[in-house]
Amino acid sequence: MLQAIASFFCGFVFTLGLAISGMTQPAKVVGFLDVLGNWDTTLVFVMASAVGVYYIAFQVITRRKIPILAPRFLIPTRTDLDFRSIAGGVMFGVGWGISGLCPGPVLATLGTGTSSVIVMMGFMLAGFYLSNIIGQPKK
């Protein structure tokens, strides 16, 4: 139960950060991607802030022997890139560039009922489903 409460709180803070920074507005993201036109650098500062906070928190948290709310740390160890990782990144980037939304802002703005958000959510769910079907490694 404590994990669920902590997860809800983290999600709430993340959503609040997205809303305050304006990252729930697709025009901000599309403006960031328009480097040859009217470039909006807001996303650079949002990402730099997020990476900085994450880096410091990671350094502090991983000094513990075990996490506070889990039996062990779950830190990825793979460092290689495979076709699936690259293809997934490309598809994510194309979807992000076309819609101006990624999963966090989609979930944060889903309650608005905006057609673009609902369409993006549908495609995102379809992508999750398809990745489970065709993305499984061969055994």
pLDDT one-digit tens code per residue, 18-45: 888 888 888 888 888 888 988 999 889 9
Amino acid (one-letter) located at 7:
S
CA–CA gap between residue 126 and residue 139 (Å, rounded): 24
Amino acid (one-letter) located at 116:
S
What is the mean predicted confidence (pLDDT) over 38-53? 91
Decide if pLDDT at 51 tops 80.
Answer: yes
What's the pLDDT at 24? 85
What's the pLDDT at 15? 87
Residue 71, token pair as written in the block: 């039996």
CA–CA gap between residue 78 and residue 58 (Å, rounded): 18
What's the pLDDT at 53? 93
DSSP-based three-state secondary structure for 23: coil
What's the pLDDT at 123? 87
Give pLDDT tens digits for 76-111: 888 888 888 888 888 888 888 888 888 888 888 888
Q: What residue ranges do the domains of the chain occupy?
A: 2-134
Residue 49, token pair as written in the block: 């802030």
Q: How confident is the model at residue 58 (pLDDT cuts 50, 70, 90)?
A: very high
Q: Name the pTM for this structure.
A: 0.70
Decide if pLDDT at 6 tops 80.
Answer: yes
CA–CA gap between residue 25 and residue 128 (Å, rounded): 23
Q: Give the list of residues 6+ apart from residue 73 with CB closer than 8 angstroms, or none.
A: 62, 66, 67
